[in-house]
Homo-oligomer: A and B are copies of this chain.
Amino acid sequence: MKEAGDLRPFFEPEAVAVVGSLREVPGTAYWVIRNMKHFGFSGPVYPINPNPAVYKMVFGAPVYASVLDVDGQIDLAAVITPPSTVPHIVAQCAQKGIQAVIVLSEGFAEAGREGARLQGQIQDLARATGIRIMGPNTFGVFNTANGLATLPPFTDQEKIQRGGVAFCSQTGSIGPHQMPLEDWAYPISKICDMGNKCDVDEADVLDYLADDPETQVVAMHLEEVRDGPRFMDAAGKCAARKPLVILKAGRTRGGASASASHTGALAGNEPIVEAAIRQAGAIRVRTWQELWEVPKTLLYQPLPGGSRFAVITFTGGQGVIAADAAQDAGLELAVFTPETARNLSRISDRLGGNPVDMGPVMSDSRSQGSSNPFSALEKAIPLVLDDPNVDCATITFYAGRQIASMFPALVDMVHASVRETATTVNVWIYGTSLSAMQEMARRFEAQGIPASFDLDRAIRTLGCAAGYAAGPARGERIR
């Protein structure tokens, strides 16, 4: 794991040192070690504290006064000590031959002049010694493959689902301590908070994630781009290999000035950023919720072959709203082939067009005493998904407590069609009960069918996928 310049020691270390206070509360080195144990990191973790006499043992490991006192090899050091002590500690890390340091501490460039000076010092150390530094002012990294978790805050999540989405961000508003990853069984490969980016920046992270076999989709939150040409190059390479979704904040005047005040960084020229992201073939999203939802569809589903969209609803009104949303998302309403139209109209003379409104059909079937209200739907779904004129589709589902017992059969029925088709499919779930909606969503996503509680966002997501598929980058189909 020794290639110069690569970030593997940050994400795939064999042995880690954690430097800082060993008080048993969140926000300390103790808690970093606790989180590492909690998420199952199995390599050696060396607690480092200047008072090894006070803290003799932590989680069964002896405490050392300095990384230099540790005999074994250390690949990564996570440092959470007062800013003024950090340069010395980083120098010791370099002396020990540690390749990667994450400076979790706050109080650097984002906090004023003295912090900026200290940040400059560790930046100089990185340049002089070749040690790589992530941060400062970061929660560092999270890796579901090895349980590495350098975040110091409390998180109440038991287990983050291992999967193909990497999230990286400029600030600590991302990660297992902030997002409902466990509730959604969100499929995570890596999480990375880049913080003040004194050394490791977005281009480094993109380079790493582009090569990371665990990562199939990259979601990135950015406030500023450190080095435009390097970023464009890295984004272009990454987006050519796997979908890259970017939320570039600070895109308005107010946002840019807010960004400058909290990171000390300039947000950059918005039209240039916009053009760079487009030219790289990445997907640009505008809201936090999109950054959350778009990657799932890209991971779970094949990329659409075009922008022809179909929607299957339980009421006609939803179909009209969906048609509007599709046009907003850059999609067009698919025109079914005559064969599909004919086959649909064999189910009911009310069917044949797109949107596909199953409401009247299911209501007829109920009034005719059918025992399975979903039998017409079961016939209609594969007809729509297999139509060669359809590239992507949203199916809407009602979820209420009283029909929760039908969810497994319903999801299996949809999945049977979805797994046989190359069409990109997601579902919009609405209903009377939030817990029932969540239960249904979990079941769909467990079968690789992404679920949203917002119809507009579900369709916008398909638009993002179609835009990526048609763009300069050509990601291979990911499943």
Contacts and interface: CB of A to CB of B under 8 A. Distances in A.
B433 A317 contact: no
Given A259-B320, A323-B258, A454 B252 contact: no
A19 B218 CA distance: 58
B258 A180 contact: no
A402 interface: yes
Interface string A172-209: 11001111111100000000000000000000000000
A363 interface: yes
A12 B5 CA distance: 74
B320 A437 contact: no
A230 interface: no
A42 interface: no
A288 B455 contact: yes
- Most B CB contacts (10 A, CB to CB) among A156, A176, A223, A255 go to A255
B324 A400 contact: no
Chain A interface helix/strand/loop/mixed: mixed
Nearest to A313: B173
Interface stretch (A141-149, A296-304, A352-360): A352-360
A388 to B, nearest CB: 20
Nearest to A179: B432
Given A27-B363, A316-B171, A183 B254 contact: no
A327 B432 CA distance: 33
A432 B287 contact: no
Nearest to A26: B366
A183 B27 CA distance: 35
A267 B327 CA distance: 16
B434 A438 contact: yes
A391 interface: no
A323 B253 CA distance: 8
Nearest to A267: B320
Nearest to A107: B360
Interface string A132-161: 000000000000000000000011110000
A379 interface: no
B325 A287 contact: yes
Interface in A321-362: 321-328, 332-333, 349-350, 353-355, 357, 360
A180 B254 contact: no
A215 interface: no
A139 to B, nearest CB: 10
Nearest to A327: B252
A176 B402 CA distance: 14
A110 B183 CA distance: 41
B456 A288 contact: yes
A258 B169 contact: no
Nearest to A437: B180
A419 interface: no
A371 interface: no
A41 interface: no
A46 interface: no
A398 interface: yes
A221 interface: yes
B223 A434 contact: no
A182 B431 CA distance: 11
Contacts of A27: 363, 366-367
Interface string A159-173: 000000000011111
A321 B255 contact: yes
Contacts of A180: 431-434, 437
A467 B98 CA distance: 57
23 contacts: A27-B366, A27-B367, A110-B316, A156-B402, A170-B317, A171-B316, A173-B317, A181-B432, A183-B434, A221-B317, A247-B321, A249-B320, A249-B321, A254-B326, A258-B322, A258-B355, A259-B316, A259-B320, A262-B317, A267-B320, A287-B454, A288-B321, A289-B456
